[in-house]
């Protein structure tokens, strides 16, 4: 089976290609990339990408698929359907399912389910500690042999510093990233950013230092044991500064942020809209600017979604009681494209943070459009205007603070391993 | 002016004109409570529900009396007698109540934004009777009414608020109203009870009570919010009392005609001493009396139809 993607503007950060190219795909692999591929046999499927940008499929290092256990929030089928619509071809799902992904059997279940029902590549992230309880290490080696790509107790920090040290050391054997959600819960325990929102609304605050102290701690531990660490979903200017400073003497620190941390400030929470409730919380205007600056300077390597779908009823309650999280797959790319229009990043830089950089973190061979690479490809129109309608989400999670927002830029076509999984061209 | 709002949710939303309009309307109602027959037919045939998820003496009684003096029918629901204990959600409770077609629902809740949630889903007028640490708009309005009554104005005053500012909805609502009218507001309390960034609201912070009260026109005392973990922020109530309990000595440092206010319930001997609570500067019971008139005005404006 051959597919020819013709006439599109290819931007591939890894190979630095930026121009009109044709791409020939055979089965699941990219066979040829050149200025003009004319010869096609009658059986070749031709996709006209003219007027659009062609890029490697996006890679998300942080999402929640909720299966097993919370199928009423999302399933591997609905989550990956939303992902491919959003332009993602590889996604890393966090371990906070029920049961927690802290054992070989759960990892195998997710991988099997994704193979049969998934629309894109699903790489499970295993728990650092059994049951995410922060008390003892999970069977990381067992999960690794079953296919986990990383470990994380996402949703919380490993509170015991000694245990975090052991996790960072232990993970070295498998050369998998340790992804850290940084939050000192002795300082947090609130619902919105401690600042304007908590001051005006009287909601309990989550101060920036709850994140920053833990970023400091985890980098210090990683440095001490000389192990790589990936700090996920950073939301404050302080975190950007800490990571930038640490990197000068310790290269093994990487980090990501999410579209909502550079798109919304804590003022969005003033209406008590529970769809703005997310952890870490939406921060101040100054933090938002610092996050953008961190992206521009390259301190923040990766943009992740932290896609966190929830059922309607868990958000349709008092703000204090509502679940944390934003359903992000179907808005993440358009929100990120704003960075290009605002001049924070150019298109290649943005795509690098959503393709080549996450591929490098995870050690996968996708994230590029080159001969021999897996045929994970998207075609998008960076200027297509559309209005977010959560009721049209393929994700079960309709929990978005961007409902009704006018966005620009839309993914139109997603190919995973040579198969067209989403097509809205024409 | 014409009143256009369906709900009364927070002071931060109100303009000076709206607040003064409520106060002026309240003036005309204050009289009714002094008559022998304390009832007018203004809200006959209207139904007011008070839905209280937190204990209250003053606010609920005040609303009930206000409604009854306007001839509305009132129903009181408190969380311990309602379905809340059976696990019914606030939204479901509210929608069930709405099916019985009340005209107004006064809600008190421990969580900020609960009244806003009801306002979004119900057609009835929603009145915020206090939502967690967020706002207590009717308290701020009756406080403003009392200040105007005693001081003859609502602006240019030096007002000191003392206590747990961070967890006090009374403090928040009063800061919004009093700053809107251009008063000097000083927040005084232990630093653990002063929320970060409060200066952005245009208030000053002074940790020393003796300094804070100097030349004050109004001293507003606040209660330690035990139910919101208020005691975690201080070593002991005894120490708090020593540092922040209002004594006659403090009152003497304030302006000669200072008034001392307290939203109640008072913890005598902790934040306020008997000599002050019962002293000549105290207007604490005037606040309670005025609360009825202000709440009559609010009910009238929200559900009374055309003036």
Name the token pair of A223.
């440095």
pTM passes above 0.90: yes
Cα distance from N-terminal residue to C-terminal residue, chain A: 23
Interface with chain A: mutation pick from B109, B112, B199, highest number of A CBs within 10 Å: B112
Q: What is the pLDDT of residue B250?
A: 97
Over pLDDT 90: what percentage of chain B?
Answer: 87
In the residue annotation, A417 being an active-site residue is answered as no
- Inspect the interface and report whether the beta carbons of A317 and B195 lie closer than 8 Å: no
Is the pLDDT score of B81 beyond 60? no
Question: For residue A253, is pLDDT > 80?
Answer: yes
- Predicted local confidence at residue B298, as pLDDT: 98
pLDDT confidence tier of residue B2, bands split at 50, 70 and 90: confident
* Alpha carbon of B212: minimum distance to chain A alpha carbons (Å): 22
- Kindly report the number of other CB atoms within 10 A of residue A424's CB atom: 14
The answer to whether A379 touches A425, Cβ cutoff 8 Å, is yes
Cis peptide leading into residue A99 (ω within 30°): yes
Q: Which two structure tokens, joined as six digits, stand for B44?
A: 């006959």
pLDDT, one tens digit per residue, over A368-390 is 999 999 999 999 999 999 999 99
pLDDT band for A356, please (50, 70, 90 cuts): very high
> Which runs of E-coded beta strand occur in A40-196?
45-48, 53-56, 58-63, 88-93, 121-126, 150-152, 178-180, 192-193
Q: What is the pLDDT of residue B224?
A: 82
| Residue A192 CA: distances (Å) to CA of A199, A284, A319 | 10, 11, 10
Kindly report the average pLDDT of chain B as a whole number: 94
Q: Does B172 touch chain A (CB under 8 A)?
A: yes
At A266, is the secondary structure helix, strand, or coil?
Answer: helix
pLDDT at B307 over 50: no
- Among candidates A195, A196, A202 on the partner chain, residue whose Cβ is nearest the Cβ of B132: A202
Contacts 24+ apart (CB under 8 A), B36-42: B38/B69, B39/B68, B39/B69, B39/B70, B39/B71, B40/B69, B40/B70, B40/B71, B41/B71, B42/B70, B42/B71, B42/B300, B42/B304
Query: Is B117 part of the contact surface with chain A (CB cutoff 8 Å)?
Result: yes
- Compute how many other C-beta atoms are within 10 angstroms of the C-beta atom of residue B147: 29
Please indicate if any CB of chain B lies within 8 Å of the CB of A389: no
Question: Peptide bond preceding B170: is omega within 30 degrees of 0, i.e. cis?
Answer: no
B contact test, residue of A186, A197, A200 with most B CBs within 10 A? A200
CATH of range A57-362; options 3.30.70.360, 3.20.20.140, 3.40.50.150, 1.10.357.10? 3.20.20.140
Is pLDDT of A77 > 70?
yes
pLDDT at B277 over 90: yes
Which A residues, 319 through 338, put their C-beta within 8 Å of a C-beta on chain B?
319-321
Q: How confident is the model at residue B229 (pLDDT cuts 50, 70, 90)?
A: low
Confidence at residue B228, expressed as pLDDT on a 0 to 100 scale: 66
User: What kind of architecture, by CATH, is found in domain A2-54+374-394+402-423?
Assistant: Roll (2.30)
Question: Nearest CB to A318: which of B111, B167, B172?
Answer: B111
Lowest mean pLDDT among A115-119, A165-169, A363-367, B301-305: B301-305
More confident residue, B17 or A42: B17
Which region among A268-282, A335-349, B20-34, B228-242 has the lowest average model confidence (pLDDT)? B228-242
Query: Quick check: A195 and B196 CB within 8 A?
Result: yes
Q: Label the pairing between strands B104-109 and B125-131.
A: parallel
pLDDT at B64 over 70: yes
Number of CB atoms found within 10 A of residue A247's CB: 16
Q: What is the token pair recorded at A173?
A: 């054997």
Mean pLDDT in residue range B33-62: 93
Please pick, among A301, A306, A376, A381, the residue that the annotation labels catalytic. Answer: A306
The runs of H, that is alpha helices, within B228-283 are: 237-244, 248-253, 274-277
Domain residue ranges in chain A: 2-54+374-394+402-423, 57-362
Mean pLDDT in residue range A70-79: 98
Query: Is the per-residue pLDDT at A283 higher than 60?
Result: yes
At B185-202, the pLDDT tens digits run 999 999 999 999 999 999
pLDDT in tens, A167-180: 999 999 999 999 99
In angstroms, the CA B80 to CA B78 distance is 6
> Token pair of B117, please?
């949630």
- What interface predicted TM-score (ipTM) does this complex get? 0.91
Percent of the residues in chain A that have a pLDDT greater than 90, as a whole number: 96
Question: What is the tens place of the pLDDT at every residue in A289-343?
Answer: 999 999 999 999 999 999 999 999 999 999 999 999 999 999 999 999 999 999 9
Please tell me if residue A271 touches chain B, with a CB cutoff of 8 Å: yes
Check CB contact of A189 with chain B, cutoff 8 Å: no
pLDDT at residue number A40? 72
- Residue A245: closest CA among A271, A212, A281, A272: A212
Chain B contact for A186, CB < 8 A?
Answer: no
pLDDT of residue B86: 66
Return the closest-CA partner of residue B161 out of B193, B131, B134.
B193
pLDDT tens-digit readout, B95-130:
999 999 999 999 999 999 999 999 999 999 999 999
- Classify residue A35 as exposed, middle or buried by CB count within 10 Å of its CB (0-12, 13-18, 19+): exposed
Report the DSSP pairing between strands A58-63 and A88-93.
parallel
Residue (of A82, A80, A89, A33) closest to A57 by Cα position: A89
């Amino acid at each position: 089976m051959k597919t020819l993607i013709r006439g599109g503007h290819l931007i591939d950060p890894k190979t630095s290609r930026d121009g009109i190219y044709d791409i020939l795909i055979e089965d699941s692999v990219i066979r040829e990339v050149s200025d003009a591929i004319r010869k096609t046999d009658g059986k070749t499927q031709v996709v006209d990408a003219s007027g659009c940008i062609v890029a490697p499929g996006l890679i998300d290092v942080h999402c929640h698929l909720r299966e097993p256990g919370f199928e009423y929030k999302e399933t591997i089928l609905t989550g990956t359907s939303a992902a491919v619509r959003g332009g993602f071809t590889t996604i890393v799902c966090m371990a906070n399912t029920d049961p927690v992904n802290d054992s070989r059997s759960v990892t195998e279940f997710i991988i099997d389910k994704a193979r049969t029902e998934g629309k894109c590549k699903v790489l499970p992230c295993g728990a650092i500690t059994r049951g995410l309880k922060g008390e003892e290490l999970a069977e990381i080696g067992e999960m690794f042999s079953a296919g986990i790509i990383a470990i994380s107790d996402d949703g919380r920090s490993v509170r015991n510093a000694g245990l975090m040290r052991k996790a960072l050391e232990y993970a070295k054997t498998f050369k998998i990233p340790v992804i850290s959600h940084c939050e000192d819960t002795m300082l947090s325990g609130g619902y919105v950013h401690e600042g304007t929102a908590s001051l005006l609304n009287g909601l309990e605050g989550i101060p920036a230092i709850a994140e920053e102290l833990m970023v400091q701690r985890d980098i210090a531990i990683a440095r001490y044991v000389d192990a790589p660490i990936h700090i996920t979903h950073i939301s404050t200017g302080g975190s950007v500064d800490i990571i930038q400073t640490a990197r000068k003497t310790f290269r093994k620190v990487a980090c990501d942020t999410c579209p909502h941390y550079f798109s919304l400030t804590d003022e969005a929470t003033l209406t008590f809209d529970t769809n703005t409730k997310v952890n870490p919380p939406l921060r101040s205007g100054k933090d938002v600017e610092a996050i953008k600056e961190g992206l521009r300077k390259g301190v923040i390597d990766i943009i992740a979604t932290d896609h966190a779908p929830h059922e309607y009823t868990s958000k349709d309650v008092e703000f204090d009681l509502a679940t944390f999280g934003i359903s992000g797959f179907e808005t993440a790319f358009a929100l990120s494209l704003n960075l290009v229009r605002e001049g924070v990043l150019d298109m290649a830089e943005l795509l690098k943070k959503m393709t080549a950089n996450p591929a490098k973190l995870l050690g996968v061979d996708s994230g590029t459009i080159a001969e021999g690479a897996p045929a994970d490809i998207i075609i998008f129109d960076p200027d297509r205007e559309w209005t977010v309608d959560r009721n049209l989400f393929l994700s079960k999670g309709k929990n978005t603070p961007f409902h009704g927002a006018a966005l620009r830029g839309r993914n139109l076509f997603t190919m995973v391993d040579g198969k067209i999984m989403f097509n809205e061209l024409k | 002016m014409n009143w256009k709002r369906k709900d009364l949710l927070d002071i931060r939303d109100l303009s000076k004109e709206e607040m003064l309009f409520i106060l002026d309307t309240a003036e005309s109602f204050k009289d009714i409570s002094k008559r022998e027959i304390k009832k007018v037919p203004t809200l006959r045939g209207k139904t007011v529900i008070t839905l209280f998820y937190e204990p209250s003496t003053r606010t609920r009684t005040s609303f009930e009396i206000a409604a009854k003096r306007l001839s509305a029918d009132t129903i009181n629901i408190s969380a311990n007698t309602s379905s809340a204990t059976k696990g019914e959600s606030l939204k479901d409770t509210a929608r069930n109540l709405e099916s019985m077609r009340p005209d107004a629902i006064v809600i008190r809740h421990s969580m900020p934004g609960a009244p806003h949630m009801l306002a979004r889903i119900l057609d009835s007028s929603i009145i915020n009777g206090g939502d967690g640490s967020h706002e207590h708009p009717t308290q701020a309005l009756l406080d403003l009414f009392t200040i105007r009554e005693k001081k003859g104005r609502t602006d240019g005053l030096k007002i000191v608020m003392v206590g747990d500012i961070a967890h006090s909805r009374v403090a928040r609502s009063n800061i919004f109203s009093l700053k809107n009218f251009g008063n000097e507001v000083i927040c005084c309390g232990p630093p653990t009870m002063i929320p970060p960034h409060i200066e952005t609201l245009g208030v000053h912070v002074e940790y020393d009570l003796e300094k804070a009260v100097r030349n004050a026109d109004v001293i507003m005392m606040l209660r330690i919010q035990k139910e919101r973990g208020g005691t975690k922020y201080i070593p002991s109530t005894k120490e708090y009392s020593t540092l922040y309990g209002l004594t006659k000595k403090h009152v003497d440092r304030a302006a000669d005609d200072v008034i001392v206010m307290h939203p109640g319930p008072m913890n005598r001997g902790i934040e306020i001493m008997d000599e002050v609570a019962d002293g000549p500067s105290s207007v604490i019971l005037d606040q309670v009396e005025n609360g009825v008139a202000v709440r009559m005005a609010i009910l009238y404006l929200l559900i009374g139809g055309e003036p």
